[in-house]
Homo-oligomer: A and B are copies of this chain.
Amino acid sequence: MAELKNLTKRSENYSQWYNELVVKADLAEQSAVRGCMVIKPYGYAIWEKMQRQLDDMFKATGHVNAYFPLLIPKSFLSREAEHVEGFAKECAVVTHYRLKNAEDGSGVVVDPAAKLEEELIIRPTSETIIWSTYKNWIQSYRDLPILCNQWANVLRWEMRTRLFLRTAEFLWQEGHTAHATREEAEQEAVRMLNVYADFAENYMAMPVIKGVKSETERFAGAIDTYTIEALMQDGKALQSGTSHFLGQNFAKAFDVQFLDKDNKLSYVWATSWGVSTRLMGALIMSHSDDNGLVLPPHLAPIQVVIIPIYKNQEQLAAISEKADSITAELRKRGISVKYDNADNKRPGFKFADYELKGVPVRLVIGGRDMENNTVEVMRRDTLEKETVSCDGITDYVAELLETIQKNIFEKARKFRDANIRCADSYDQFKEMIEEGGFILAHWDGTPETEARIKEETKATIRCIPDGFDTTPGVCMVTGKPSARRVLFARSY
């Protein structure tokens, strides 16, 4: 128990709190391979819930899953010029395909005879390999749209990594769609951003601001990058999902044309969109507290834990009977329940452990509860306890889970809203940025000014947000005209 509880406080060192929490709550850990993480069973169970929900949402919007190769011929990367400039450089390169025994018996060495003619790259993202495939799938407008998604691992050779937030290998989904018209592709990119926003708010309980990226922050190869931006408790922004309108860039790079209804050849229009295990980091940092994780009920692998407190085996048997009946009733309602009657851990240890793991509702049944036909209910979000009658406990818990889901969202929304401020001068901006949060400010629209702000304040333009104040003004830095305020923050 001592070990569970000595989590660094957020106020002391937020970054350390996060790193410790990820490990102590059994979510993930560093592996023997630099920058690559092991996602532990409890962490993976949360990711599986995210995956299942997102996958259902993708299918409900007409998408299908497929699988494309892990490896990409090196030459593919240079086909789309901006793409390769933008980020296809830091990646793992496969140069050989065989090992052999070392002559000195010391182990295995790379067989120099097994050198590839063309090196292969572990996918950092799959636009190139997918568009080289789509070329064969698309001849006529009848073959469109193609609405594919893939769940996959990708790898980018990051120099500074943090569990979930930035790892060399990570898991994600990447949607890649092909359309006959520009309008349809643009609508698709926006549709998927809305799916992400819906998922973030209604499942992760994480409020997000939708918007479009500046040219500098755009995905390499995209015409427009749409984004959802969330605010973490330390006042830094976290980009939580992006959806790209790719125009005809990849179709041109891979020569993907189709015969339209008028029998004319045109290049295909494209989108791509993705969210990754980075969402795990966002989830953790949005809600958790100094006692550990706070999970939204909609994504908690264990929604309810029941813990018995007993003096002897006879009492335990009676409590277990009651617990089993409550468990069965809750499961009928689709609620996931764990009854923890392990006798090698004390109740206090279990309490701390399930708090650390963010289980939304804890039920405790002791001797007095058995006499009074009650249970003690604790909700993880507020840590409030209440003694409740066993009659109607199923309804009570089901409602409480929804209440917690809403409360977590509202709390995060209030925090976020309280931390969106307008800066009207660069000095004011510099002060505000030290305090954290989102800042709405005027910008002259140039990459130069954007770069200067980033260098001087470490703040970036998170997006040109949907809504908010759209009146023109003057750039806080240069005094040049500004079309509207854009959203700045320091970010993960």
- Report Cα–Cα, A109/B76, bound state, in Å: 12
Bound complex: CA of A98 vs CA of B36, how far in Å?
17
Chain B's nearest CB lies how many Å from the CB of A130?
Answer: 9
| Any B CB within 8 A of the CB of A107 | yes
Q: Are B31 and A108 in contact (CB under 8 A)?
A: no
Q: Which of B33, B65, B72, B77 contacts A73 (CB 8 A)?
A: B33
* A283 smallest CB distance to B (angstroms): 16
- Once bound together, how far apart are the Cα atoms of A72 and B99, in whole Å? 13
The residues of B that contact A97 with a CB separation of less than 8 Å are: 90-93, 157
List residues of chain B with CB within 8 A of the CB of A133.
Answer: 29, 31-32, 38
Cβ of A474 under 8 Å from chain B: no
User: Which of the candidate stretches A5-13, A117-125, A306-314, A475-483 sits at the interface with the other chain?
Assistant: A117-125
Closest partner residue, chain B, to A153 (CB atom): B70
Set of chain B residues within 8 Å of A90, measured between Cβ atoms: 97-98
Interface check A346, CB cutoff 8 A: no
Query: Is residue A236 within 8 Å, beta carbon to beta carbon, of the partner chain?
Result: no
A75 vs chain B, min Cβ distance (A): 6
Residue of B nearest to A90 (CB): B98
User: Whose C-beta in chain B lies nearest to the C-beta of A106?
Assistant: B78
A interface secondary structure, majority = mixed
- Chain B residues closer than 8 Å to A372, beta-carbon distance: none
At the interface, yes or no: A15 with Cβ under 8 Å from chain B? no
Stretch of A40-48, A200-208, A424-432, A461-469 contacting B (4+ beta carbons < 8 Å): A40-48
Residues on the B chain within 8 Å of A88, using CB: 99, 108
CB-CB under 8 A from A144, the residues of chain B are none
Residue A458, interface by CB 8 Å: no
> Which A140-198 residues have a C-beta within 8 angstroms of B?
142, 148, 152-153, 155, 157, 169, 171
A74 at the interface (CB under 8 A from B): yes
Which of B38, B45, B148, B157 contacts A41 (CB under 8 A)?
A: B148
Most buried by B among A29, A37, A76, A99: A99
* Contact in complex: B94, A74 (CB < 8 Å): no
Judge whether A96 is part of the interface by a CB distance below 8 angstroms. yes
The one of B36, B91, B107 in contact with A71, judged by C-beta atoms closer than 8 angstroms, is B36
Asked if A122 and B122 sit within 8 Å, CB to CB, the answer is yes
Asked if residues B132 and A32 are in contact (CB atoms below 8 Å), the reply is: yes
Interface 1/0 per residue, A204-245 and B, CB below 8 Å = 000000000000000000000000000000000000000000
Answer yes or no: A57 CB below 8 A from chain B CBs.
no
- Tell me the complex Cα distance, A65–B47, Å: 10
Question: Taking the complex as formed, is A39 at the interface, i.e. its CB lies under 8 A from any CB of chain B?
Answer: yes
- A84 vs B109: C-alpha distance when bound (angstroms): 12
Q: A70, A97, A121, A132: which has the most chain B beta carbons within 10 Å?
A: A97
Instruction: Find out whether the CB atom of B93 lies under 8 angstroms from the CB atom of A32.
Output: no
Q: Is A344 an interface residue (CB 8 A)?
A: yes
A78 touches B107 (CB 8 A): yes
A328 contacts which chain B residues (CB < 8 A)? none
**Cα distance, A464 to B171, chains bound together (Å):** 40
Check A31 against B129 for contact (C-beta < 8 Å): yes
Q: Shortest CB–CB separation between residue A135 and chain B, in angstroms?
A: 10
Q: Chain B residues near A47: list those with CB within 8 A.
A: 67
- Interface residue ranges of A50-109 to B (CB < 8 Å): 64-78, 84, 88-100, 107-108
Asked if A76 and B32 make an inter-chain contact with CB atoms under 8 angstroms apart, the answer reads yes
A153 to B93, CA, bound (A): 17
Chain B residue at minimal CB-CB distance from A72: B33
How far is A142 from B342 in the complex, measured between Cα atoms in Å? 12
Minimum CB–CB distance for A343 against chain B, Å: 12
Output the residue of A67, A76, A110, A119 with the most chain B CB within 10 A. A67
Give A130's nearest chain B residue, CB to CB.
Answer: B38
B93 touches A110 (CB 8 A): yes
Residues A65 and B38 in contact in the complex (CB < 8 Å), given A32-B76, A71-B33? no
Contact between A39 and B67, CB atoms less than 8 A apart: yes
* Given A84-B108, A92-B94, A122-B122, 16 more pairs with CB closer than 8 A: A29-B136, A32-B69, A38-B66, A39-B66, A39-B67, A41-B65, A70-B70, A70-B122, A70-B169, A71-B92, A84-B99, A89-B100, A89-B108, A91-B97, A94-B94, A95-B96
Q: List 5 A-B contacts (CB under 8 A).
A: A29-B136, A32-B132, A45-B64, A48-B65, A71-B169
User: Lowest 6 CB-CB distances: which A-B pairs, in order?
Assistant: A78-B107, A36-B69, A41-B64, A39-B67, A93-B96, A97-B157
